[in-house]
């Protein structure tokens, strides 16, 4: 990645309104006299308030606490006019949020309602020894909620959703890409950081907003396929978590590897349900 892109991205990362640094957490625990878990539970309404729920009117908030000590908010997202298959759950939003910051380990997920089966399967794709879930009324380990699970290890997959090797898609190898198009280069970067061990369909999205802000998304696949998270859904989740609206989107780029599995059609459909911007796509 060029230095200009790195700086642009660093600025947007600092501006993330739904991410807390370890320093902020320390300040908040001191100010509130709450322990970390009590503080996380107290912050859940902040995450819930970011939910987009035109169908269910049921707001779920989640916080993924990463190994680096950063906290990532997530909320459920439903898109009116779309199949429910395109909805995103709060736990997916929080873990996808952590993935976008290249976190490699999730210590705990705090969530306002017991995780559904879909989310249990999604979280199992982390392929971690353990993952603690903190609910308002209980602590429970993921393997207690999902005994005899099917997952990456059953497919001889040694790494997990956050620890995949980086891809090798490069602008220089694709004549369809303008090497000075920063947004498209960001989408390539996201595709390289995506997780698609079963289909090899690396895919990334970058959205540019009217104010110059950028929202990113990357594909996070699943051994059981369906709980996987599409790159456009993750990018739109980032948009809402940061308080923006689809009408703020000025440009949208998707990059993907050309395989039997494809994101382009679904991503374009999801984007079209949200705004009038036409999706620009490039395949490798």
What amino acid positions are annotated as catalytic residues? 91
Nearer to Zn ion among residue 93 and residue 271 (C-beta): 93
Interface with Zn ion, residue 116, by CB under 5 A: yes
Interface with Zn ion, residue 88, by CB under 5 A: no
Interface with Zn ion, residue 108, by CB under 5 A: no
Nearer to Zn ion among residue 70 and residue 89 (C-beta): 89
Interface with Zn ion, residue 58, by CB under 5 A: no
Nearer to Zn ion among residue 133 and residue 186 (C-beta): 133
Distance (Å) of CA 279 to CA 35, 147, 179, 269 = 45, 41, 19, 9
Residue 150 C-beta: closest distance to Zn ion, Å: 17
Residue 98 C-beta: closest distance to Zn ion, Å: 16
The three state secondary structure string of the chain is CCHHHHHHHHHHHHCCCCEECHHHHHHHHHHHCCCHHHHHHHHHHHHHCCCECCCCCCCCEEEEEECCCCEEEEECECCCCCCHHHCECHHHHHHHHHHHCCCCCEEEEEECCCCCHHHHHHHHCCCCCCCEEEECCEEEEHHHHCCCCCCHHHHCCCCCCCCCCCCCCCHHHCCCCCCCCHHHHHHHHHHHHCECCCCCCCEEEEEEECCCCEEEEECECCCCCCCCECHHHHHHHHHHHCCCCHHHEEEEEEEECCCCCCCHHHHHHHHHHHCCCCEEEEEC
Residue 227 C-beta: closest distance to Zn ion, Å: 9
Question: How many residues belong to the site for Zn ion (CB under 5 A)?
Answer: 4
Nearer to Zn ion among residue 108 and residue 202 (C-beta): 108
- End-to-end, the C-alpha distance of the chain in Å comes to 18
Residue 88 C-beta: closest distance to Zn ion, Å: 9
Nearer to Zn ion among residue 227 and residue 231 (C-beta): 227
Residue 53 C-beta: closest distance to Zn ion, Å: 13
What's the CA gap between 245 and 129, in Å, rounded?
38
Residue 200 C-beta: closest distance to Zn ion, Å: 27
- Cα 224 off chain centre by: 18
Interface with Zn ion, residue 119, by CB under 5 A: yes
Interface with Zn ion, residue 89, by CB under 5 A: yes
Q: Which residue has the tokens 């503080």?
A: 39
Contact region with Zn ion (CB under 5 A), list: 118-126, 140-148, 220-228, 262-270: 118-126
Nearer to Zn ion among residue 133 and residue 205 (C-beta): 133
Given the rule CB under 5 A, which residues bind Zn ion?
89, 116, 118-119
């Amino acid at each position: 990645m060029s230095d200009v892109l790195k700086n642009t991205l660093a600025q947007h990362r600092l501006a993330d309104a739904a991410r807390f640094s370890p320093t902020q957490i320390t300040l908040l625990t001191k100010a509130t006299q709450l322990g970390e878990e009590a503080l996380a539970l107290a912050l859940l309404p902040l995450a819930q308030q970011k939910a987009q729920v035109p169908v269910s009117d049921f707001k779920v908030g989640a916080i993924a606490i990463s190994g680096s000590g950063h906290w990532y908010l997530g909320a459920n997202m439903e898109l009116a006019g779309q199949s429910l298959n395109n909805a995103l759950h709060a736990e997916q939003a929080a873990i996808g949020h952590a993935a976008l910051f290249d976190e490699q380990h999730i210590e705990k997920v705090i969530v306002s309602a017991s995780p559904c089966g879909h989310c249990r399967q999604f979280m199992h794709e982390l392929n971690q020894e353990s993952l603690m879930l903190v609910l308002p009324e209980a602590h429970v380990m993921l393997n207690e909620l999902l005994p005899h699970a099917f997952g990456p290890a059953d497919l001889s997959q040694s790494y997990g959703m956050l620890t995949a090797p980086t891809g090798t898609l490069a602008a220089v190898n694709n004549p369809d890409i303008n090497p000075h198009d920063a947004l498209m280069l960001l989408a390539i970067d996201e595709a390289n950081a995506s997780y698609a061990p079963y289909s090899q369909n690396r895919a990334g999205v970058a959205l540019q907003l009217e104010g110059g802000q950028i929202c990113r998304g990357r594909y996070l696949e699943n051994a059981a396929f369906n709980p996987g998270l599409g790159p456009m859904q993750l990018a739109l989740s980032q948009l809402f978590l940061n308080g923006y609206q689809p009408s703020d989107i000025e440009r949208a780029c998707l990059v993907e590897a050309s395989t039997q599995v494809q994101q382009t059609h679904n991503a374009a459909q999801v984007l079209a349900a949200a705004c009038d911007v036409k999706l620009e796509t490039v395949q490798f």
